[in-house]
Chains A and B, each alone.
Chain A
Amino acid sequence: MTEIKASMAGSVWKIVASEGAQVNDGEDIAILESMKMEIPIPAETSGTVKELKVSEGDFVNEGDVIAIIE
């Protein structure tokens, strides 16, 4: 099980992957918006998206869990 965490504070602009989906290492899970820039949050491992912990529009702090991949 791998927790995918926000690399910086920002708001969740887009959720790219859906729960139950297969993702590959490096594929984007979500895109944050921070300081007017879009920051992709990639999966750091290949697997199934077990749970998405955030919704579009949510504010996250650095280190907050975005998704869990199994």
Chain B
Amino acid sequence: MFQKILIANRGEIASRIIRTCQRLNIETVAVYSEADQQAPYVQMADESYLIGKPRVNESYLNVDKILQVAKDSGAEAIHPGYGLLSENAEFAKRTEEAGLTFIGPDADVIAKMGDKIAARAEMKAAGVPIIPGTEDAVANTDDAKKIAGEFGYPVMLKAAAGGGGIGMQAVYNDEELEKAFEGNSKRAQAFFGDGKMFIEKLIEHPRHIEIQVLADRHGNAVHLFERECSIQRRHQKVVEEAPSPVLSEETREKMGESALKAVASLGYSNAGTIEFLVDDEENFYFLEMNTRLQVEHPVTEQITGIDLVEQQLRVADGEHLSIKQKDLIIDGHAIEVRIYAEDPNTFYPSPGKLTKMVLPEGPGVRHELAVEGDSQVTPFYDPMIAKLVIHGENREDAIERLTKALHEYEIEGIKCNLTMLKRVVTHEKFKEGETKTTFVENYYLPTLTNH
């Protein structure tokens, strides 16, 4: 095992990685910007190095500087966390070229899955379901009807050159398609000088469900079931849970198998996540692969008892995966909520001075913290200041514990989304498992106007 690693990240994830390293007696090297001098992870690490100004381009994305610190400090490997450089293929490549181990998949795999078109082609070839769509432009209305018939309505008409909605329209039957196809093509021609149209199956009110995978460098891989992350605001997740409140055992198995097909086809190693859109009939379609640890990984840890960071370190170091698929079971239910420094009504950020932070305690309560009481929440980075992770015997129990914990949670000095989270998790529709990507729009936002 490594003796010393560098963590090329900040905030709660840096602290979380350090905790596992401490347990495994691995020394840690933290890097920080001028805005993060007081951050808890900087104190927690065995060694900490200032790498630049607050803006990420001048600190956390400065590859040369980070590699220099890694070499000077004698670190053998770099853990990239999530965000920042974690899915930067060039960084992975340069880390390896510098004679260090990148704790993640190979650079060429990162590059491939970072390219939407290449990823889609790769998944299709591997036999992973993708959202049905045309690869070539559709010539005319008759061809369009034929294709829509094959995909099944509704379908989305999309202008090849489009963006921002022009030349894009959802149609629900032949009649609507007949009316829309030529018109959208003409508008696209007028706006973009290109009237080429594509057709894609429209997944309505989907759920966002992802499969966690773990693979070693020797071709062994397991999946660690799903996480449902449908509740989002501004296209960012707010509440995540495992297992999904609705998925059948049969679909769970099928999704797991698909995820493992993707892993095998890519020659993937380390932790990764395959994100799918799932419709009401539990059809699932590949969305994208995140070639790193996810923010919401703790819910998987809570229901499987596996420390994903430890596994990442072990497989990166060349160990064989010690976990077998048949030994994995789902133990209870876990829910994570992200605590954002933001206005709970407008979702606008709220940096400033945090004057007080009271954390709930109790069985099944886990905290991941980017800040501590009486500290400055800087405007330079993501508004997520903490994660609250709850484990219960079942979903009902987890919701009950979560509700209690959220009521005990106190944050003062800055605005935060605690009131939003309380409303979401106590909402009847949440309890019923109506956790669609449209949840915030359909069930949360309307509660604001009633107040």
Asked if A1 is at the interface (CB within 8 A of a chain B CB), the reply is no
Asked if A25 is at the interface (CB within 8 A of a chain B CB), the reply is no
By size class, the interface of chain B is 10 to 19
B383–A35 CB distance below 8 A: yes
Residues of B within 8 A of A (CB): 55, 234, 341-342, 348-352, 379-383
Query: With the chains together, A20 CA to B381 CA distance in Å?
Result: 34
Q: Per a CB cutoff under 8 Å, which of B341, B342, B351 touches A10?
A: B351
- How many pairs of residues, A versus B, come closer than 8 Å at their CB atoms? 38
- Give A8-40 interface residues, CB cut-off 8 Å to B: 8-11, 33-37, 39
Chain A residues with CB under 8 Å of B55's CB are 11
Knowing A8-B379, A11-B379, say if A34 contacts B352 (CB, 8 Å).
no
Q: Which residue, A8, A10, A35, A36, has most C-beta atoms of chain B within 10 A?
A: A35
Q: Per a CB cutoff under 8 Å, which of A8, A35, A39 touches B381?
A: A35
Instruction: Return 23 A-B CB contacts under 8 Å, by A number.
Output: A8-B348, A8-B349, A8-B352, A9-B352, A9-B379, A10-B351, A10-B379, A11-B55, A33-B379, A34-B351, A35-B349, A35-B351, A35-B381, A35-B382, A35-B383, A36-B381, A36-B382, A36-B383, A37-B234, A37-B349, A37-B383, A39-B348, A62-B352
Q: Which residue, A10, A11, A36, A62, has most C-beta atoms of chain B within 10 A?
A: A36
- Give 10 A-B pairs besides A9-B352, A34-B351 with Cβ atoms closer than 8 angstroms: A8-B352, A35-B342, A35-B351, A35-B382, A35-B383, A36-B382, A37-B234, A37-B349, A39-B348, A62-B352
Q: Which residue of A lies closest to B348 (CB)?
A: A39
Chain A residues with CB under 8 Å of B379's CB are 8-11, 33-35
- Nearest Cβ on chain A to B65's Cβ, whole angstroms: 20
